[in-house]
Chain A
Amino acid sequence: MKAKIIITPKKAVLDPQGKTVQNALAHMGYTGVTGVHIGKYIEIDLAPGTDKAAAQKAINDAAHKLLSNPVIEDYKLEIE
């Protein structure tokens, strides 16, 4: 069982990495790119048989407190 967390910068936050990659894509001739946002992907291994609802609650809590910073980042959590 795994928890997968995708963390991305909030839209209002300056994302110089995303901007630089967007410019590079344009220079390479990839057209139609209107935005690039660079974040993080975290995978957490969970013990077999873990209760999915309880894990969801605990990892949401951890994502809010530690894995992401709600001032500058959003996250999406999936457990599978």
Chain B
Amino acid sequence: MNFSVLQFPASNCDQDAVHAARLLGHSARLVWHKDTSLGDTDVVIVPGGFSYGDYLRCGAIARFSPVMQAVKQFADNGGLVLGVCNGFQVLTEAGLLPGALIRNRDLQFHCENIFLKTITNDSVFTGKIPAGKVLRVPIAHGEGCYFADEPTLASLKAKNQILWQYCDAAGNVTDKANPNGSLQNIAGICNERRNVAGLMPHPERACEPILGSDDGKWIFESVIAALSEKTAATA
């Protein structure tokens, strides 16, 4: 599989995403934000960081980068796009995912390991996550509080678009386990078509035991398995 990892000025998790993809045995390359084409790509990762210094709003300026036109086109054609942290913010600003990420409710930057409950296996991003498995992955953000108006939230629930919620180590979704005040403990969602997803936690920083957890690889493995099945089906 070919992973294309976008690189904006002040992206800082781009190399981690490339490393994770290669670690899992796949090819990955960086795509500069001024590029107008993605090249041969199976999945796009919009990485974490502070694109354009987080000026104005997180992700607000990155969404107008030339490469984002190519990403929109890729997503419109059914291509898989995963946004992590700042990448999630960029995808909401771009209108590829509903809602917005606002300042953490305690105004603090949170850099810690959290636990994630997977709400549905019915997505290419979660298909291979074992049932009941609580994922331990890091977060590092100041503006990760997920907000959407009530009709949007109701629609996300009705269409099974909430992929991950913050939970405690035992998998209970509680307010105490919510690091940033996200509505309904939402940590990650997908679009209606289920080919674009975003999450605030960093699975790419948790793909090998030496980093303290390799739970993040379940998300990458899910994507890789979905793409392999698709390739096999069209072969």
Q: Among the listed stretches A29-37, A48-56, A66-74, which one makes contact with chain B, having 4 or more residues with CB under 8 Å of it? A: A66-74
B107 in contact with A16 (CB, 8 Å): yes
A71 in contact with B99 (CB, 8 Å): yes
Q: Is A13 an interface residue (CB 8 A)?
A: yes
Cβ–Cβ < 8 Å partners of B133 in chain A? none
- Rounded to whole Å, the gap between the CB of B54 and the closest CB of chain A is 13
CA distance A42 to B148 in the complex (A): 25
- Rounded to whole Å, the gap between the CB of A32 and the closest CB of chain B is 25
Cβ–Cβ < 8 Å partners of A69 in chain B? 57, 60, 93, 100
Cβ-neighbour of B60 out of A13, A14, A66 (below 8 A): A66
B100 in contact with A14 (CB, 8 Å): no
Residues facing A in B84-103 (CB within 8 A) are 92-93, 99-100, 102-103
- Given known pairs A14-B145, A71-B149, the reply for A66 and B56 (CB within 8 Å) is yes
Q: Chain B interface mostly helix, strand, loop or mixed?
A: loop
Cβ–Cβ < 8 Å partners of B64 in chain A? 66
Q: Is B104 an interface residue (CB 8 A)?
A: yes
CA distance A12 to B61 in the complex (A): 25
- Rounded to whole Å, the gap between the CB of A50 and the closest CB of chain B is 23
B56 in contact with A13 (CB, 8 Å): no
CA distance A14 to B146 in the complex (A): 10
Q: Is B74 an interface residue (CB 8 A)?
A: no
CA distance A71 to B54 in the complex (A): 18
Number of A-B contacts (CB under 8 A): 36
- Rounded to whole Å, the gap between the CB of A39 and the closest CB of chain B is 12
| Residue on A nearest B107 in the bound complex, by CB | A16
Cβ–Cβ < 8 Å partners of B40 in chain A? none
- Given known pairs A14-B102, A16-B105, the reply for A71 and B148 (CB within 8 Å) is yes
A17 in contact with B147 (CB, 8 Å): no
Residues facing B in A38-80 (CB within 8 A) are 66-67, 69, 71-72
Cβ–Cβ < 8 Å partners of A9 in chain B? 102
CA distance A69 to B92 in the complex (A): 10
Cβ–Cβ < 8 Å partners of A66 in chain B? 56, 60-61, 64
* Chain B 131-152 per-residue mask, 1 if CB under 8 angstroms from chain A, else 0: 0000000000000010111000
A72 in contact with B147 (CB, 8 Å): yes
- Rounded to whole Å, the gap between the CB of B61 and the closest CB of chain A is 8
CA distance A35 to B185 in the complex (A): 26
Q: Is B181 an interface residue (CB 8 A)?
A: yes
Q: Most chain-B CB neighbours within 10 Å: which of A9, A14, A67? A: A14
* Chain B 105-148 per-residue mask, 1 if CB under 8 angstroms from chain A, else 0: 11100000000000000000000000000000000000001011
Would you mind naming 9 contact pairs between A and B with Cβ atoms under 8 Å apart? A14-B145, A16-B105, A16-B107, A66-B61, A67-B56, A69-B57, A71-B92, A71-B100, A71-B149
